[in-house]
Chain A
């Protein structure tokens, strides 16, 4: 828009522009349906996320038990191990509280969404974060929640107790959602059946859509 006003400008992590302007609804509509609904193409944000996770598990196998805390001798075994953890916190979320400093109590709950979200975050910088994540998993398996809770944000950081010297920031979900949908060139309204079909197609594409879809796509109805 303002090419004469660009100094040094880097954006890292660029989404698919066609999907953005088509409203993310386009991402999950099966190809045949997208033609009748005049939506964009069916590429989408999580198209390689499961592969990225597999590559982390593959690397763990190759790295061996000294370097990878969740080492097993196959990718499938590592995947099964992590999935056991996800199933477990799905049924039995794990709370943890850190009140060693009573003036600065932090707490979090490791539930299914938090765990999946944590893995998704690790996939943004797997070379930096995967090793620590593996160690956190092992600690958690033996009942020590302290390691994984260093990786998970307390929901009340800077909110309780309030940090009066810092601006209040509760994330950008509302702004992001409004901008995203304001940009959309298509009508994202869907029937319940269409939304269900969207969701099923999304989850078929990536297991992370159990988290991603509600946070990104579902509000667009």
Chain B
């Protein structure tokens, strides 16, 4: 059951948004430029 909590905490929109920000920072940048199509 604690695995469920761990999974839930890493798969949500806030988690994805945080990941994207970290990707931006890993490239040494500060602002996300993004064109997303769904």
Give the interface of A toward B (CB within 8 A). 1-2, 5-15, 175, 178-179, 182-183
Contacts and interface: CB of A to CB of B under 8 A. Distances in A.
B16 A9 contact: no
A179 B13 contact: yes
Contacts of B18: 1
B28 interface: no
A9 B34 contact: yes
A10 B34 CA distance: 6
B36 A12 contact: yes
A11 B32 CA distance: 13
Given A1-B14, A179-B12, A6 B31 contact: yes
B19 to A, nearest CB: 11
B33 to A, nearest CB: 4
A12 B2 CA distance: 36
Interface in B2-29: 7-8, 11-18, 21, 24, 29
A1 B21 CA distance: 10
Contacts of B7: 178
Contact of A15 (B24, B29, B33, B38): B38
Given A6-B32, A9-B34, A13-B38, A179 B11 contact: yes
B11 A178 contact: yes
A3 B29 CA distance: 15
Contact of A13 (B21, B30, B33, B37): B37
